[in-house]
Structure 1
Amino acid sequence: MSDRYLMTAGSGSTELEVRKSRFIGHVARATTEEEARAVIARISKEHWNASHNCYAWSLGEYPRLQRSGDDGEPSGTAGVPMLEVLRQRDLTDTVLIVTRYFGGTKLGAGGLIRAYSSAATAVIEHVGIAERRQLARFAIIASFEDAGRLENALRAAGDEPDEVAYSEYVAFTMTIDPARQPEFFAWVAEQTSGRATIEHHEAVFAEVRFDPCLATTGLYEE
């Protein structure tokens, strides 16, 4: 199982015109083939009078389930170029549809490939890309004596607890990058003079903003 996935950040659409033909790109999330087909059916119903509603999707982990369709365009000129856009960006759980309203001028195979690729690229760039990354979730168990100082130190360091629970002790639920754990645990020990303990380790997935140039930044709320 991979600890990192890229996918569309959401749903949306964009439009471009090529020699009087309208190409409307749509993108949405889907985690199953049934969900992907439902998205395609919905868009096709909305654009029932379009010349073509071509599609491509990429789902799941490696090896990914990938499909494409030309919906009447010459074979290989629409769905395959759209699927290549998904592959180049390593996107999964993403479905693309490009709706074409024919403008009266034939584009030729090369022109169609460029138009469908451009429409797919435009809508992905418009909506953005999210990263789903595996993180470590655990609880810091501290005495009431240490809890106030530890909570202030956590917040000052930018490590906001997911939850703070009070019983005979104080439990801070935290979610961090697994690579930070050794350093973070040592820091907690230093803050509490070794009195705090760590419990309930588990791996969770959370979405983070993805910038292809700057890598990743802060967490989205689930």
Structure 2
Amino acid sequence: MLVLENIISDRGSKYAVSGGPCGSEEEAKSFIKELCRKKKFAKATHNSWALLTAEASIKSDDGEAGAGMVILRMLEREELRDHVVVVTRWFGGKHLGGDRFRHVQDAVRIFLDHLRES
């Protein structure tokens, strides 16, 4: 499990991105459960995620409407299969409008860059 914390901050909202090998929706949910064992992530406002496998495209917005689709589209573009990516947001009290999608994209990009460098 790779966890990159405090990667983006905007108007009080803070973002992290996590991910790891994963082959099914059940494994993805198990990954989220493991991530949320850290109290900080359990208290997050949103843990949006996506997973691309040979059989299915799976996503969850976790209340951040559209975020799962943004993550999924980026995984499809990169052809990254069998790897769950989770973007976590702690809401800072101010609505970000469309900027929240840019932050989700940036978070996934940071994660993908980190994978390439490893």
Q: What TM-score, normalized by structure 1, do the two folds share?
A: 0.48
Q: 1:36 to 1:43 in 2, by over 3 A?
A: same
**Which residue of 33, 44, 50 corresponds with 1:50?**
44
Partner of 1:106: 95
Partner of 1:122: 110
Large movers: runs of 4+ above 4 Å: none
Q: Deviations over 1:121-178 (max 9, x none)?
A: 1112112289xxxxxxxxxxxxxxxxxxxxxxxxxxxxxxxxxxxxxxxxxxxxxxxx
Q: Deviations over 1:90-132 (max 9, x none)?
A: 1100101111111122101x211111111111112112289xx
**Which residue of 46, 67, 70 corresponds with 2:61?**
70
Whose helix fraction is larger, Structure 1's or Structure 2's? 2
Residue 20 of structure 1: CA displacement? 2.3
Partner of 1:12: 2
Residue 86 of structure 1: CA displacement? 0.3
Q: 1:129 to 1:27 in 2, by over 3 A?
A: farther
Asked whether 1:83 is paired with 2:72, we answer: yes
**Which residue of 14, 26, 51 corresponds with 1:34?**
26
Partner of 1:215: none
Q: Highest relative contact order (Cα 8 Å, sep 6+), 1 or 2?
A: 2
User: How does 1:162-201 map onto structure 2 within 5 Å?
Assistant: none
Aligned letter for 1:54? Answer: S
Q: Which runs of 5+ in 1 are unaligned?
A: 1-10, 131-222
**3-state SS of 1:128 partner:** helix
Aligned letter for 1:90? Answer: E
Q: Deviations over 1:9-58 (max 9, x none)?
A: xx412222123211100011112322222112212332111111111111
Q: What TM-score, normalized by structure 2, do the two folds share?
A: 0.86
What is the distance in 2 between the residues matched to 1:129 and 1:79? 24
Aligned letter for 1:55? Answer: W
Q: 1:129 to 1:81 in 2, by over 3 A?
A: farther
Q: Which runs of 5+ in 2 are unaligned?
A: none
Contact 1:12 1:127 survives alignment (8 Å)? no
Aligned length: 114
What is the distance in 2 between the residues matched to 1:45 and 1:68? 21
Asked whether 1:97 is paired with 2:86, we answer: yes
What is the distance in 1 between the residues matched to 2:3 and 2:95? 24
Find the structure with the greater CA-based Rg: 1
Contact 1:55 1:70 survives alignment (8 Å)? yes
**3-state SS of 2:42 partner:** coil
